[in-house]
Amino acid sequence: MSGQVVVSYGTPASTTHVLRQGPHSFRWHRVPGESAIKAAGVVPDGLRDVFARAGTGGVRFAVPELVPEGGSVQVLPDAVSIGWHLLAGSALPREYADVVRRVGGAVRGLHAGAEGAYGTVPWLDGLARWLAERPDPVAARVLRRIGEERFTRLAQWAALLAVPGGVLLGTLSPGVIVVDRRDRAAHVLVSAEAGYGAPALDLGTLAEALSTSVAVASRGAHRAPDNLDYGVLWDAFTAGYGDGSPRADVERAAVLRRVHRLRSINGHLGDNAVFDEQLAALPDLVDGDTIVPLDRRN
């Protein structure tokens, strides 16, 4: 039935309602909340055309449009992302390897554009300020867990990675990839989290997201080895993306993104088992433990 709400979900950061418009047409309506952690609003000026040009025949970057009733809308060929399908157990990671490989190639093209542009992605900008100011109880908890020296090291990494670079998605993860079942074209969601910076920031963001997906899936009903093999998506993405970003930068970006996630979990959902587990593991990550799936030996 046209206009039927098929999916609704939300946190203090945003609320999303997905309406069916046709067999392969879904209207995603996202309304921002009052989060101080996640960027809201429109895609930054100057980037809309870049994203439109960066797509390929098998990959489209989907830029949201503002609507009079508030929030933004994207029309997409499925009601949920591949991340949703994977956590729900309706698909296995390997079934999306071909899609993610194509996304890797398209993201490489995106990163190659606008070299030398200044500014960075909002999440890193916000995290750098948070690391410098230590303004809230979460900062105090992280500091107690990892100690002053590691906390300072995180701030230094954030400064080192805040360099001019190409266009970044800022939120690269299975949760921003929507697949058209008819032709397996990938629609990659673009948001106000987009910006500029070192390509390692997007790669680290993806690595951290895949690792967290493993942690979440392992606590759910669908935790057979094939369900948890998110590393196959990392392999597929890097095969499509190719070489270029220094491994050390990607690892540091992944750890910084993990700290950003801790802020987000606590600010939007409160404490939970994933928060406790990730906070407990943070000292080892800062000291050089590799986030899965960067090291497939794990």
Q: Which residue has the higher pLDDT, 190 or 270?
A: 190
Residue type, 183: D
The pLDDT assigned to 92 comes to: 98
Rounded Cα–Cα distance for residues 12 and 123 (Å):
16
Query: Residue holding tokens 């993990």?
Result: 258
Rounded Cα–Cα distance for residues 62 and 45 (Å):
15
The pLDDT assigned to 298 comes to: 37
Rounded Cα–Cα distance for residues 102 and 224 (Å):
26
Asked whether residue 87 carries a pLDDT value surpassing 80, the answer given is yes
In this prediction, residues 270-281 reach a mean pLDDT of 90
In this prediction, residues 158-185 reach a mean pLDDT of 95
The pLDDT assigned to 161 comes to: 95
The pLDDT assigned to 296 comes to: 56
Phi and psi at residue 21, to the nearest 5°: -105, -20
Among candidate residues 33, 12, 9, 36, the one with its CA nearest the CA of residue 270: 12
Does the pTM surpass 0.85? The reply is yes
Total residue length of the chain: 298
- Averaged confidence pLDDT in the chain: 91
Query: Residue holding tokens 């000026």?
Result: 45
Q: Are the beta carbons of 292 and 254 closer than 8 angstroms?
A: no
Angle, CA of 28, 32 and 33, to the nearest 5°: 135
Q: Which domains are seen in the chain, by residue range?
A: 78-286 (3.90.1200.10)
